[in-house]
C-alpha cells in the first residue's frame, strides 16, 4: 500500500513539474539579420570630347582608348558631352572649335560605365539642330539617358528618376537667372541636381557671378550643383548643407598645353535616406587617357 501511495505521489510531482516547465517555455524565433540600407550611387565627371586628337588616338588604339584605365560603376554615371554624336560625323579640321563625334563612341561610353550625359553646353549644336536630335535618338536607342539642351531652358529636357530630378543649363549662351530659378522651384520637394555650363575658360577661380547664381539656385531648391566649361578645376563649396562643384575640369580632352587642363575631379555621391556622402577624387589624363589618381576628401552631409 505504501509503495502505491509513493508511486502516486511521484506521478503527481512529475506532472506538476512538467506543467510548470511548459508554462515558462518561450518560443524565441531567431533574429532576422539587420538589412543595411543600399544607397543610390552617382558618379559625376567633367567635359568629354571625342574628336580632333582624341579621335585620332582612338582610331589608332581603339575606341575604348580614353577609358581603358578607369572603371566607373554606379546607378548613374554622368559626364558633360561636349558635342553631338552623328552617324556620318562631319570631318572638321584638327584646330576647329566645332566637334562631331562618331556613333562608334556610344559602345565605348557604355562599356566605360556612362549611362547619363548632359547636353546643355555650347557644342551640342555644332552639327545643327538635326545633329542634336540625331544625338538624342542614338543615345535613346542605346539606353543612355540624357538631359539638358543648349538653348531651351524649359522643363522639356529635364530627367526625373525616382526622387531625383536632373536639370541642365547652358549659361554661356542662354538661360536667364529668372528662367533658371523658375524651373528649379517647380521641383523643390525633390532632390534637384543641376548640371550647369558656365564660367570663364581656364580660370581656376570661380567668379562672383557663379557664386551668386549658385547660392540663388540652392536658396530656391537645388540640392547639388555640378559645373563645367572652364576646362580646369574650380572651387568646391558647401552652402546651406548642399554641395557646389563650380567646375570639375576636363575628363577626356586634347588640351595638352597645361597641367591644369589635364586634371579633373570625379565625384561619387552615395545618397541614403538620412545622409549624403560625397567622395572627391583627383583624375589625370595622359594623351587623353584617364587615370584615377587619389581620393582628396570625403564629405558627409546629414539630411
Per residue in 254-285, pLDDT (tens digit) is 999 999 999 999 999 999 999 999 999 999 99
Neighbours of 177 (CB within 10 A): 13
Domains of the chain, by residue range, sit at: 40-302
Q: What's the CA gap between 86 and 251, in Å, rounded?
A: 21
Which pLDDT value is given to residue 169? 98
Q: What's the CA gap between 103 and 288, in Å, rounded?
A: 19
Percent of the chain with pLDDT over 70: 88
Q: What's the CA gap between 155 and 166, in Å, rounded?
A: 10
Neighbours of 162 (CB within 10 A): 9
CATH class as words, domain 40-302: alpha beta
Over 90: is that where the pLDDT of 295 sits? Answer: yes
Q: What's the CA gap between 43 and 40, in Å, rounded?
A: 10
Which pLDDT value is given to residue 188? 86
Over 70: is that where the pLDDT of 63 sits? Answer: yes
Answer whether 122's CB lies under 8 Å from 83's CB.
no
Answer whether 222's CB lies under 8 Å from 240's CB.
no
Which pLDDT value is given to residue 94? 87
Taking alpha carbons only, the member of 184, 178, 170 closest to residue 217 is 184
In angstroms, the first-to-last Cα distance of the chain is 81
The residue whose grid cell reads 533574429 is 31
Q: What's the CA gap between 77 and 145, in Å, rounded?
A: 10
pLDDT band of residue 24 (cuts 50, 70, 90) is very low
Instruction: Say what the pTM is.
Output: 0.88
The cell for 242 is: 548642399
In the Cβ-directed half-sphere of 266, how many Cα atoms lie within 13 Å?
A: 23
Neighbours of 43 (CB within 10 A): 22
In the Cβ-directed half-sphere of 298, how many Cα atoms lie within 13 Å?
A: 6
Amino acid at each position: 500500500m505504501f509503495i502505491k501511495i509513493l508511486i502516486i505521489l511521484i506521478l503527481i510531482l512529475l506532472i506538476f513539474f512538467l506543467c510548470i516547465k511548459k508554462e515558462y517555455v518561450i518560443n524565441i524565433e531567431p533574429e532576422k539579420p539587420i538589412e543595411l540600407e543600399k544607397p543610390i550611387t552617382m558618379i559625376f565627371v567633367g567635359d568629354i570630347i571625342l574628336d580632333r586628337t582624341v579621335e585620332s588616338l582612338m582610331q589608332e588604339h581603339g575606341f575604348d582608348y580614353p577609358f581603358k584605365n578607369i572603371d566607373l560603376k554606379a546607378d548613374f554615371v554622368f559626364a558633360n558631352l561636349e558635342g553631338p554624336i552623328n552617324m556620318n560625323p562631319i570631318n572638321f579640321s584638327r584646330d576647329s572649335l566645332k566637334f562631331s563625334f562618331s556613333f562608334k563612341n556610344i559602345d565605348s561610353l557604355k562599356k566605360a560605365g556612362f549611362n547619363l550625359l548632359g547636353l546643355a553646353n555650347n557644342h551640342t549644336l555644332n552639327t545643327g539642330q538635326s545633329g542634336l536630335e540625331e544625338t538624342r535618338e542614338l543615345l535613346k536607342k542605346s539606353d543612355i539617358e540624357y538631359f539638358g539642351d543648349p538653348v531651351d531652358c524649359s522643363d522639356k529636357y529635364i530627367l526625373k528618376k525616382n526622387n531625383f530630378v536632373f536639370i541642365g543649363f547652358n549659361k554661356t549662351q542662354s538661360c536667364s537667372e529668372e528662367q533658371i530659378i523658375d524651373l528649379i522651384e517647380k521641383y523643390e520637394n525633390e532632390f534637384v541636381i543641376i548640371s550647369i555650363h558656365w564660367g570663364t575658360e581656364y580660370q581656376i577661380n570661380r567668379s562672383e557671378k557663379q557664386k551668386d547664381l549658385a547660392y540663388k539656385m540652392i536658396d530656391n531648391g537645388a540640392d547639388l550643383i555640378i559645373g563645367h566649361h572652364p576646362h580646369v578645376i574650380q572651387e568646391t563649396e558647401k552652402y546651406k548643407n548642399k554641395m557646389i562643384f563650380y567646375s570639375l575640369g576636363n575628363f577626356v580632352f586634347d588640351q595638352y598645353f597645361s597641367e591644369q587642363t589635364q586634371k579633373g575631379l570625379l565625384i561619387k555621391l552615395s545618397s541614403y535616406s538620412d545622409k549624403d556622402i560625397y567622395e572627391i577624387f583627383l583624375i589625370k589624363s595622359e594623351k587623353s587617357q584617364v587615370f584615377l589618381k587619389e581620393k582628396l576628401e570625403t564629405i558627409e552631409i546629414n539630411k
